[in-house]
Amino acid sequence: MSSRKPLFAVLTVAALAALWLATGASATVYCVDDTPGELADNGSVDASCETGKATIAEAVTAANSHAGADSVLIGPGEFTLAPSGNIGVYYYSTEAANTLVLRGSGAGKTHLTMGSTSGYSTGLWLYAPAGSKVGDLELTIPANSDGMGDVGAIIASGLVAEDLVVDGPAATNATGVRLGAGTPSLRHSTVEMPIAASPTDNAVASTDSGATKVVDSWVSGDMGAVGSGGTVTVERTTVDARIGVTTDSGAIVVRDSLIQLGNRNSSTGVNAANFNASNSPIQATVDGVTIVGGASNSVGVRAQADNGEEATSVTVTSTEIEGPLRPLQVLADKGRTASLSVSHSNLDAALVQVNGDLAAGGETGTAHYEETEVTDLAPGFADAAAGDYRLAEGSALIDRGDPAAPPAEELDLDGRARALSGTCAAAVAPRRDVGAYELAPSCAEEAASPQGGGSEDPAGPGGSSPSGSTADPGAGTNAAVPPETAIKGPRRIATAGKWARVSLRLSALGEASGFRCEIDGKARACGEALALRLKPGRHTIRAWALGPAGADPSPARIVVRVVAKRPAHA
């Protein structure tokens, strides 16, 4: 049994209602807590908890059998998912009214472990309608000696996974999160699977028709995001993998994201190819992406069509490729057509490979390559050695991206609006930068900051704004309303020592006079710049902006993982 504090001692009914709980007269709230005695008398358990259950599987099964919107709230502690038919927890409903909320007490507080990896095992298998959510918990896939393709969580239909951490440090041939049929999405989450000498583990996979999304997340594995058949969108996400984003049919969209290939042989940033016979078309859109790293036989973006009756089409815009041996590769054979067009991007065009006779003999294919306004300039990264691939002031890639105005809602990897002007001259029209990040010059930062101190915009993959707002911090403020808080910084830091230096940035939307913070539940003095020394492990940082109307009622939160450095793979 865990000795941690009882379920939801730190959460209010109002906060739960605002953030997660489904509403409706028929709704039931089921609670699971491994602290003895708490559920029996509801002592220290939130008043909205109506029915206590001994296990998560019991609670979810009860919710599945009950008509209407239901919630399953899990207390802090360590929980093992005992499998039933190779599935730890199962929920399936196609009824629009049967929404499910499955929520832990916070990543780092509620930790689930799959109880078995025998055969094809799954930890969470959830098929639920729009309005359903799962998150605020961690899930670990244990070592699986049979290598039978275990899955941490299957998320399907209209369900949203948010603030979910999935890992499998010793897994083999496993998948962290599988996005199933429908329109499921993974948001503000971390999925970390092993990166071995050959691709065996997927961070995120989507192998059904439909439209799935990975947004504002950090994923790592042999393969970062895998698609097949539907449309997979990877947006404002950092991918650290041997194969970043790949599909063998259907479409992939990679936008405003960073793909890190490390020092890995035969690595690929974006792969649009089917190495088996197929008659399915393959499409890929790569827009505003930074691809770095790679060793021998590495490729930035590949378009390939040489099997069955397939055809492959890839479009690359406003993208920076630095490191791969072949920045772009267009390969075709056997009468098939592979097309790749690149525009307003930065890469070494002399290293692009175009080959329509891949097998060197027999019927050839058509490899079509077209480039427009492609440069080969030093990117001017802020600190590439430290893994910071933002553009420094003065970078040649500022205002060199696609001149067409991006959609108003499109944001860069830091959560900034796209097409900010790279200069403070009022006469210069804004134009998007090349790569995953948009630079705002220091003069624009100072003008936008509510405190005049150059704080950064809210939201983005390194942190969150409680309301999800992407409003301009320079907009008018209301002193009668508490400010909203945002934290930005890395979600993962590798260190070879006993601790790592982690730098975070706090900002506020609204009138703010300062901040207060908690590091792993302990109070800590803080300001706009927050410098920490963290030991290896998972750490939860919360911050509240303080204003005339009081503190932000919903703190911003970021989960930072400090991991020991792995040796470079040969």
3-state secondary structure of 447: helix
What does the pLDDT read at residue 275?
76
Assign 197 a pLDDT band (cuts: 50, 70, 90).
low
Q: Over range 514-532, report the average pLDDT.
A: 87
Q: What is the DSSP letter of 411?
A: B
Q: What is the DSSP letter of 59?
A: H
Q: What is the DSSP letter of 41?
A: H
In angstroms, rounded to a whole number, what is the distance separating the alpha carbons of residues 528 and 551? 15
Closest CA to 197 of 117, 147, 263, 140: 263
- Out of 106-110, 299-303, 440-444, 476-480, give the one with best mean pLDDT: 299-303
What does the pLDDT read at residue 483?
85
In angstroms, rounded to a whole number, what is the distance separating the alpha carbons of residues 99 and 78? 26
**Would you tell me how many other CB atoms lie within 10 Å of the CB of residue 350?**
7
Tokens for 88, please give them.
């730890």
Tokens for 7, please give them.
């379920």
Tokens for 521, please give them.
């539940």
Look at residue 78 and tell me whether its pLDDT is greater than 80.
yes
Tokens for 191, please give them.
């999925």
Tokens for 485, please give them.
């808080």
User: What backbone torsions phi and psi does residue 452 show, to the nearest 5 degrees?
Assistant: 70, 15
Core vs surface per residue 355-364: b (16+ CB within 10 A) or e: bbbbeeeeeb
Closest CA to 547 of 499, 516, 498, 514: 514
Amino acid at 527: G
What does the pLDDT read at residue 549?
84
Task: Tell me whether strands 218-227 and 202-206 are parallel, antiparallel or unpaired.
Answer: parallel
The least confident of 20-29, 255-264, 301-310, 502-511 is 20-29
Tokens for 569, please give them.
């793979």
The least confident of 386-390, 489-493, 544-548 is 489-493
In angstroms, rounded to a whole number, what is the distance separating the alpha carbons of residues 78 and 115? 12
What does the pLDDT read at residue 477?
47
In angstroms, rounded to a whole number, what is the distance separating the alpha carbons of residues 202 and 187? 17
Look at residue 455 and tell me whether its pLDDT is greater than 50.
no
Look at residue 471 and tell me whether its pLDDT is greater than 60.
no
Higher pLDDT, 57 or 196: 57
Task: Tell me whether strands 529-534 and 500-509 are parallel, antiparallel or unpaired.
Answer: antiparallel
Q: Where are the alpha helices (DSSP H) in 391-499?
A: 442-448
Q: What is the DSSP letter of 385?
A: G
3-state secondary structure of 303: strand
Look up tokens 């990975």; give the residue: 214
What does the pLDDT read at residue 448?
39
Q: Over range 88-108, report the average pLDDT.
A: 91
**Would you tell me how many other CB atoms lie within 10 Å of the CB of residue 553?**
14
Look at residue 167 and tell me whether its pLDDT is greater than 80.
yes
What does the pLDDT read at residue 198?
60
Q: Are 328 and 314 spatial neighbours (Cβ–Cβ below 8 Å)?
A: no
Q: What is the pLDDT of residues 322-357, one digit of tens each?
A: 999 999 999 999 999 999 999 999 999 999 999 999
Look at residue 223 and tell me whether its pLDDT is greater than 90.
yes
Q: Are 192 and 176 spatial neighbours (Cβ–Cβ below 8 Å)?
A: yes
The least confident of 7-11, 248-252, 479-483 is 7-11
- For 139-165, the DSSP string reads EE----TT----EEEEEEET-EEEEEE
Assign 49 a pLDDT band (cuts: 50, 70, 90).
low
Q: What is the pLDDT of residues 279-324, one digit of tens each?
A: 788 999 999 999 999 999 999 999 999 887 789 999 999 999 999 9
Q: What is the DSSP letter of 349?
A: G
Map out the domains of the chain with their CATH numbers: 449-570 (2.60.40.10)
The pTM of the full predicted model, rounded to 2 decimals, is 0.77
What does the pLDDT read at residue 423?
60
CA 66 to chain centre: 32
Burial of 366 (0-12, 13-18, 19+ CB in 10 A): middle
Assign 468 a pLDDT band (cuts: 50, 70, 90).
very low
Task: Return mean pLDDT, the chain.
Answer: 82
Q: Are 459 and 469 spatial neighbours (Cβ–Cβ below 8 Å)?
A: yes
Higher pLDDT, 386 or 397: 397
Q: Over range 117-128, report the average pLDDT.
A: 93
Q: Are 285 and 255 spatial neighbours (Cβ–Cβ below 8 Å)?
A: yes
User: What backbone torsions phi and psi does residue 447 show, to the nearest 5 degrees?
Assistant: -70, -35
Tokens for 556, please give them.
């911003």
What does the pLDDT read at residue 445?
45
In angstroms, rounded to a whole number, what is the distance separating the alpha carbons of residues 542 and 556? 6
Look at residue 1 and tell me whether its pLDDT is greater than 50.
no
In angstroms, rounded to a whole number, what is the distance separating the alpha carbons of residues 456 and 444? 10
Q: Over range 401-427, report the average pLDDT.
A: 80
